[in-house]
């Protein structure tokens, strides 16, 4: 279909049948509505359907199929490559659908597809429970849950996909189905790690787990001097697998944020950091955290008791929507000495204050699931590693892209994919 034909489809007919609303190029809120989390993404959809319910989603899917126009589906809009908007496509925007329903007796939460994880944590932690998600609260539930979901609770309770109990889905032919372990099991398998390729999910039901003491955990960052990176990484790679699964911690090469409660003399200093989260009984916390409290010469130990919601959202203010992001990622079975040398080199060259490298544990309960049990196949243990060049200023796009690519190229030979 030509671009002209795409832009002259009878959108007014679609709009007339919606509970939500339709946004077209030239509408006052078009630019705001097509923007996603990554400020590098600049796509111009033919129309954006702001859905209020599953019926709106069915109407949008049927319209797109009838008129043979491409669809992009948007949950939280955090996808690094901006797959939730697309030029000349019909965007199915789910952010108006954001309710949550907790069932404390069954330990479940039913979640609308436009929710962020912060909204889900808000709903469940009030009951002392959580379902595994990621390490930041502003991420959308939908894309994370369909892609795998690695977070603080993964060592103890598995990935987000391992806690998905059921999903309501609008299929490409417009049918509405509920997929779970016994109904549409193939679809249910594919939804758990296969990304947004199998239909539009209009509701997720997750299992929840009691965490900490009524949702209060012990966690926070421990910052080390960047010069200690090799020592910290060698200690961490041996320590982590030996820790009880109630304790998890991701390692990052970061610039210490220039904001309270961090002491001013550390603001802007490059650091190797580990952010810990202990979700077990508090009377065991000191014993479990003892190896962390006694290791090395940290610049700052920020471990404290806090609601799980506070830890989950601790980094949200540092990374508001609209920054320029360039990502690369890999899985790592081991943190080898060769990898540590690369981390030391590129950590010293962090190109901007927001740029970072993270290693997220993917072991424990996440590694006990069979590789073919879900579409998320990497269950070998180890870490998911991400390198992200980030900056508010589009003028810095070139240096953050170059640093990320060079870092990834040097590190990739140590990844699980390259070593098999
Ligand atoms: C700052 C930041 C931190 C992150 N931290 C973590 C982390 O700790 N752990 C982790 O596992 N991941 C993390 N991620 C990655 C994150 O899981 C993915 O970017 C995920 O896609 C975000 O979900 P979303 O709904 O916001 O994405 P969107 O951009 O809205 O969508 C992502 C993909 O899913 C599809 N999709 C969205 N909604 C639906 C739906 N309802 N039905 C069908 N398909 C749909 C979209 O079409 C698109 O292809 C992080 C990302 C960012 C930017």
Instruction: Work out which ligand 1 atom sits closest to the CA atom of 202.
Output: 41
Instruction: Give the count of beta carbons closer than 10 Å to the beta carbon of residue 244.
Output: 14
**411: helix, coil or strand?**
helix
- Which residue bears the tokens 């391992």? 162
pLDDT in tens, 17-66: 999 999 999 999 999 999 999 999 999 999 999 999 999 999 999 999 99
The answer to whether the CB of 324 falls within 8 A of the CB of 396 is: yes
Q: How many angstroms is it from 106 CA to the middle of ligand 1? A: 27
How many Å lie between the centroid of ligand 1 and the Cα of residue 116?
10
pTM for the whole thing? 0.96
Cα 72 to middle of ligand 1, angstroms: 13
Residue 419 confidence class, pLDDT cut points 50, 70, 90: confident
pLDDT the model gives residue 261? 86
Ligand 1: residues within 6 Å at CB?
37, 72-80, 83-84, 94, 113, 134-136, 139-140, 142-144, 146-151, 195-196, 200-201, 319
pLDDT score of 420 more than 80: no
Radius of gyration, alpha carbons of the chain: 22
Q: What is the pLDDT of residue 2?
A: 84
Which position has the token pair 């579409």? 375
């Amino acid at each position: 279909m030509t671009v002209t034909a795409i832009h002259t489809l009878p959108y007014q007919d679609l709009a007339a049948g919606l509970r939500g609303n339709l946004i077209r190029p030239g509408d006052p809120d078009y630019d705001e509505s097509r923007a996603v989390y990554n400020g590098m993404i600049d796509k111009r959809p033919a129309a954006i359907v702001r859905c209020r319910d599953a019926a709106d989603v069915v109407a949008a899917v049927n319209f797109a199929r009838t008129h043979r126009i491409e669809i992009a589906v948007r949950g939280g809009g955090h996808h690094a490559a901006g797959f939730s908007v697309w030029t000349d496509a019909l965007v199915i925007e789910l952010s108006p659908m954001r309710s949550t329903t907790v069932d404390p007796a069954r330990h479940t939460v039913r979640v609308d597809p436009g929710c962020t994880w912060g909204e889900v944590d808000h709903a469940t932690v009030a009951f002392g429970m959580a379902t595994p998600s990621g390490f930041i609260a502003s991420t959308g539930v939908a894309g994370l849950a369909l892609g795998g979901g690695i977070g603080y609770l993964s060592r103890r309770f598995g990935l987000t996909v391992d806690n998905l109990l059921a999903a309501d889905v609008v299929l490409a032919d417009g049918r509405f189905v509920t997929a779970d372990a016994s109904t549409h099991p193939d679809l249910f398998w594919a939804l758990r790690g296969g990304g947004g390729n199998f239909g539009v999910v209009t509701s997720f039901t997750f299992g929840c787990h009691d965490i900490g003491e009524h949702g209060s955990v012990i966690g926070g960052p421990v910052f080390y001097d960047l010069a200690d990176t090799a020592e910290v990484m060698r200690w961490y790679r041996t320590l982590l697998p030996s820790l009880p699964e109630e304790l998890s911690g991701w390692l990052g090469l970061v610039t210490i944020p220039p904001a309270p409660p961090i002491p001013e003399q550390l603001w802007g200093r490059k650091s190797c950091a580990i952010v810990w989260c202990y979700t077990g009984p508090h009377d065991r916390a000191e014993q479990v955290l003892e190896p962390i409290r006694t290791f090395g010469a940290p610049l700052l130990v920020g471990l404290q008791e806090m609601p799980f919601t506070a830890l989950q959202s601790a980094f949200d203010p540092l990374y508001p929507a609209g920054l320029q992001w360039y990502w690369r990622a890999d899985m790592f079975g081991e943190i080898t000495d060769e990898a540590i040398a690369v981390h030391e080199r590129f950590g010293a060259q962090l190109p901007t204050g927001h740029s970072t490298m993270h290693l997220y544990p993917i072991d424990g309960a996440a590694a006990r699931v069979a590789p073919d049990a879900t579409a998320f196949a990497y269950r070998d243990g180890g870490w998911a590693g991400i390198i992200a060049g980030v900056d508010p200023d589009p003028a810095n796009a070139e240096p953050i892209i170059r640093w990320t690519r060079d870092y990834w190229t040097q590190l990739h030979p140590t990844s699980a994919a390259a070593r098999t």
